[in-house]
Amino acid sequence: MVWPLVLMNTKHFQQNIDIHSFYLPINLKFMETSVELSQDIIAKANAWLQSPSVDESSKQSIRDMISNDQRALKESFYSDLEFGTGGLRGIMGVGTMRMNKYTVGMATQGLANYILKQFPGQTNKVAIAYDSRNNSRFFSDTAAQVLSANGIEVYLFDELRPTPVLSYTVRALGCQAGIVVTASHNPKEYNGYKVYWNDGAQVLPPHDKGIITEVRSVDGIDSVKFDGNSNLIKSVPSSVEENYFSEIKRTVFALDEIKNASTLKIVYTSIHGAGITMVPRALNELGFQNISIVEEQAVPDGNFSTVESPNPEEREALSLALKQAESIQADMVLGTDPDTDRVGIAVRNDDGKLVLLNGNQSACLLVYYELMQWKQRNLFKGNEYIAKTIVTTDLLEEIAGSFGVKWYDTLTGFKYIAGVIRELEGKERFIAGGEESYGYSVGEFVRDKDAVLSSVVLCEVAAWCHANGKTMWKLLMEIYQQFGLYHEALLSLTIKGLDGIEKINSMMSHLRSTPPASLGGSEVVEIRDIQKGLSVNVRSGATTKLMLPSSNVLQFILADGSKVSARPSGTEPKIKFYFSMKEPLRSGGDYTAQVEKIESRILLIQKELGLKNA
C-alpha cells in the first residue's frame, strides 16, 4: 500500500523532519534508506498531490518516490527551480526543482502577466522555438497554451529551429517577446527556457528582474491558465525563414571566391541538434559544394547518443567529424551545439594536421576578415564598431584599432553585446563581435550569437584564403605576427560544501584587499574592479570610471599586455579564472614553442594565486 503524504500543522515541529512521522505503518526497508526531509519539502509534495491541475501520472511518480526513493523526493522538491535573468534550466522530471509542464507553466504565466502589464491594450505576440532536446516540443506547446489562454498570440515553429532564427523572428513579426526551449550544451537530462524581449535579444534589466518578480508572484500551479486558445496559436510564416536566409546572403562578400573554391571540403556535424535544419542549406545556397554531413549525428536526438556532451568546445563532441574529415581529407570541420548559437571549427595547420581552434581564435579570424573586407570596399563611414565580452581576447581590440574601428567591452554573455547594439541602433553600426565561448555574430539583423551565420562567414573566410593561396591557419599566424600571440586558458574551480560560496567570496575579498604586484614575471599595472565600477592605475593611483554594469569580476592587467580575470558564479560555488597571455610571434614556425612558454607562465600564475592545487 502506498500511503499519502499528510500535510500537518508544522509550527510545533523541528525544521528538518523525517518523513516517517507523517505516515504509518513504517516499512523497515523504507527506514533503512530514509533521508531527512524538511517541512517545506513535505508541503511542496503535498501541494502537488492535492492539486487538481497535476495529472495522475505525475502524482503517481511522487507516490513512488515516497515509497521507494526519499532522496529523489528531496532533490525534486527541496526548492523551486529558479527563474533567473535568462530563464529556466534544470533536470527534467516531477517536482518543483525540475523542468516539467508545471514549472514551465508557472514561468510562462509570470511572463504573460508581465507582458500584459508592459503592453496594455495591445495585440501582444510571442514567438516560440525549440531544439532537439527531449520534451522540447512538449514544453513549447505548454508555453503556447498558457500564453494563448492569457489572450496572447503565439507564433510556434512547426519543427525544431536554431535559437538565432527565433531572435530574428521576434523582430520580423513585431513580437513583444520570444521563447526558446533549450538547455544549450548541458547533459541530456536537462532542458531549459530562454526568454527574449521585443528587440530579439535575451532579456536585460529592467525586464529580466520584472519577469522574475512576476514569476515568483504566481500563486502555485492552480493559478496557471493551462487551457489554451487554439485560435491564437499560429505557425511561423515560411517567409520569415526565407528573409533570414536573404539577410545571411547579404553579409557575404566573397561570392566569386566561394564559386571558385569547388575543391574546398567541409565536414559539418549538428551534434544531433537543430543546426541540421539550416546550416547545410545556408552553405549550399551560397555555393559551397563539398559539404560532407556526419550522418550519425544528423538525426535530432535528445539523448545525444553518439557523444558524452553535445558541446562543440570539447574535442570529444567533434571526434566523429574529425575522423570523417581525415578519411576524405577535408579542409575544415564545423560543429554546432544543439540550439545552434555556438560553433566550433577545426582547420589544417602548416603540417597538414587538423587543429581545433578555440573561441578566441575563431572570433579573431571572423572579425579580422570582416574589417578587411569593409576596408577594401571603402564601406567605413566612421561610425562602425565591434563588441566583445570582458573575458574575450584583447586581440580583438588591437585588430579593431588597426582599422580605425571602435570597440566596446561588455559583461559576459552575448545578451550584453545585443544591449549595446540596441543602444547604438541608428547612431553607430555594428560590424561583428563575439565571446570566447564560441558565440559570434555579424551585422545587426540577429540580436544573439548565431552559429548559422557564423558557419557561413567562417567558411567564407576559408574560401577567401583558398583563393589567395593560403589557409585559415596561415591567416591566423599572420594576425599573430602583426599584433602579437594572444593565448588564453580557463580554470574553473568548484568549491564543494555548504560554505563553498562563502569561501569564494573570501577569495575575492582577499584579491581586492591584497592584489598581486606582479603575475608570471610581469608587473600588474592596472586593476579593474567591475563590481565597484573602477579601474585603478597601479603606478599613479589614478582611477577611471568603468562604463559597465556592476558585476563581481576582478581583472589584473599586466605590463606586457596580458590579463588575468576572476569571475565567481552568482548561483553556485564556482569561480572561473581567465588567463590571456601575450608574447611576440616572429613566424608561424615559432607558434608551438611560444604557446608552451605561455602555458608555463599560466601555471606559474596559478601557483602564485594559490590555485595550483585548488
For 520, left (φ over 0), alpha (ψ -120 to 50), or beta?
Answer: left
Question: Mean pLDDT, to the nearest integer, of 292-297?
Answer: 98
- Residue 2's nearest CA partner among 78, 58, 66 is 66
- Asked whether residue 279 falls in the same domain as residue 408, the answer is yes
Q: Give me the residues paired with residue 69 across strands.
A: none
Q: Does some domain include residue 613?
A: no
Per DSSP, which regions of 316-391 are E strands? Answer: 332-336, 343-348, 354-356, 384-389
What pLDDT, on the 0 to 100 scale, is given for residue 11? 28
CA dist 180 and 182 (Å) reads 6
| 152: pLDDT strictly greater than 70 | yes
Q: How confident is the model at residue 1 (pLDDT cuts 50, 70, 90)?
A: very low
Active site (catalytic) residues:
184
CA 104 to chain centroid: 20
| 245: pLDDT strictly greater than 90 | yes
* Exposed / middle / buried, residue 587 (Cβ in 10 Å: 0-12, 13-18, 19+): exposed
For 287, left (φ over 0), alpha (ψ -120 to 50), or beta?
Answer: left
Question: Mean pLDDT, to the nearest integer, of 224-232?
Answer: 97
What pLDDT, on the 0 to 100 scale, is given for residue 27? 34
Last residue of a domain, one of 205, 236, 267: 236
- Asked whether residue 397 falls in the same domain as residue 366, the answer is yes
Q: Does some domain include residue 490?
A: yes
Residues 56-93 pLDDT 10s: 999 999 999 999 998 999 999 998 998 887 789 999 99
Q: Does some domain include residue 82?
A: no
The CATH number linked to 583 is 3.30.310.50
273 in Cβ contact with 131 (< 8 Å): yes
| 31: pLDDT strictly greater than 50 | no
How far CA 376 is from CA of 61, 254, 363, 380, in Å, comes to 64, 12, 20, 10
Q: How many domains are there within the chain? A: 4
CA dist 164 and 302 (Å) reads 19
What pLDDT, on the 0 to 100 scale, is given for residue 23? 30
- Asked whether residue 479 falls in the same domain as residue 494, the answer is no
DSSP-H helix ranges across 329-471:
359-376, 395-402, 414-424, 451-467
| 403: pLDDT strictly greater than 60 | yes
Q: Does some domain include residue 311?
A: yes
What pLDDT, on the 0 to 100 scale, is given for residue 614? 46
112 in Cβ contact with 146 (< 8 Å): yes
Looking only at the bridges linking them, the beta strands covering 16-18 and 36-38 are antiparallel
CA dist 169 and 155 (Å) reads 9
- Asked whether residue 309 falls in the same domain as residue 445, the answer is yes
CA dist 330 and 266 (Å) reads 6
Instruction: Name the percent of the chain in helix, strand, coil, to the closest 5.
Output: 40, 20, 40
CA dist 470 and 479 (Å) reads 13
Q: Give me the residues paired with residue 388 across strands.
A: 409, 434
Directed axis angle between helix 472-483 and helix 359-376, to 10°?
A: 90
Q: How confident is the model at residue 328 (pLDDT cuts 50, 70, 90)?
A: very high
454 in Cβ contact with 366 (< 8 Å): yes
Helix (H) or strand (E) holding 17: strand 16-18
Helix (H) or strand (E) holding 477: helix 472-483
Residue entry with cell 534550466: 89
Looking only at the bridges linking them, the beta strands covering 522-529 and 534-537 are antiparallel
Looking only at the bridges linking them, the beta strands covering 543-545 and 265-269 are unpaired
Across the chain, what does the average pLDDT equal?
91
Residues 486-508 pLDDT 10s: 999 999 998 876 678 888 999 99
Residues with Cβ within 8 Å of residue 514, at least 6 apart in sequence: none
Q: Does some domain include residue 336?
A: yes
- Asked whether residue 343 falls in the same domain as residue 369, the answer is yes
**Coil, strand or helix: which one is 595?**
helix
What pLDDT, on the 0 to 100 scale, is given for residue 296? 97
- Asked whether residue 461 falls in the same domain as residue 556, the answer is no
Q: Does some domain include residue 214?
A: yes
What pLDDT, on the 0 to 100 scale, is given for residue 483? 96
| 351: pLDDT strictly greater than 90 | yes
DSSP 491: E
| 143: pLDDT strictly greater than 50 | yes
Percent residues over pLDDT 90 in the chain:
86
- Asked whether residue 528 falls in the same domain as residue 557, the answer is yes
| 571: pLDDT strictly greater than 70 | no
Is the Cα torsion angle 178, 183, 188, 191 positive or negative in sign?
A: negative
Q: How confident is the model at residue 572 (pLDDT cuts 50, 70, 90)?
A: confident
Q: Does some domain include residue 252?
A: yes
Question: Mean pLDDT, to the nearest integer, of 377-400?
Answer: 97
Name the grid cell of 443: 551585422
Last residue of a domain, one of 77, 96, 127: 77
Question: Mean pLDDT, to the nearest integer, of 555-571?
Answer: 91
- Residue 133's nearest CA partner among 309, 302, 305 is 302
Q: How confident is the model at residue 189 (pLDDT cuts 50, 70, 90)?
A: very high
What pLDDT, on the 0 to 100 scale, is given for residue 613? 54
Residues 580-593 pLDDT 10s: 999 999 999 999 99
Give the domain range for residue 428: 238-483
- Asked whether residue 101 falls in the same domain as residue 227, the answer is yes
| 47: pLDDT strictly greater than 70 | yes
- Asked whether residue 465 falls in the same domain as residue 555, the answer is no
Q: How confident is the model at residue 34 (pLDDT cuts 50, 70, 90)?
A: low
| 384: pLDDT strictly greater than 60 | yes
Looking only at the bridges linking them, the beta strands covering 518-519 and 522-529 are antiparallel
Q: How many CB atoms lie within 10 A of CB 607?
A: 12
The CATH number linked to 158 is 3.40.120.10
- Asked whether residue 348 falls in the same domain as residue 451, the answer is yes
Percent residues over pLDDT 70 in the chain:
93
Roughly how many angstroms between the first and final C-alpha of the chain, as a whole number?
A: 49
- Asked whether residue 389 falls in the same domain as residue 438, the answer is yes
**Coil, strand or helix: which one is 460?**
helix
Statement: the pTM of the whole predicted model exceeds 0.85: yes
Last residue of a domain, one of 457, 483, 509: 483
Q: Does some domain include residue 179?
A: yes
Q: What is the DSSP string of 172-197?
A: HTT-SEEEEE--TTS-TTEEEEEEEE
How far CA 130 is from CA of 136, 181, 183, 194, 569, in Å, comes to 6, 5, 10, 10, 26
- Asked whether residue 245 falls in the same domain as residue 377, the answer is yes
Q: What are phi and psi of 199, to 5 degrees?
A: -90, 0
CA dist 441 and 430 (Å) reads 10
DSSP 348: E
**Coil, strand or helix: which one is 335?**
strand
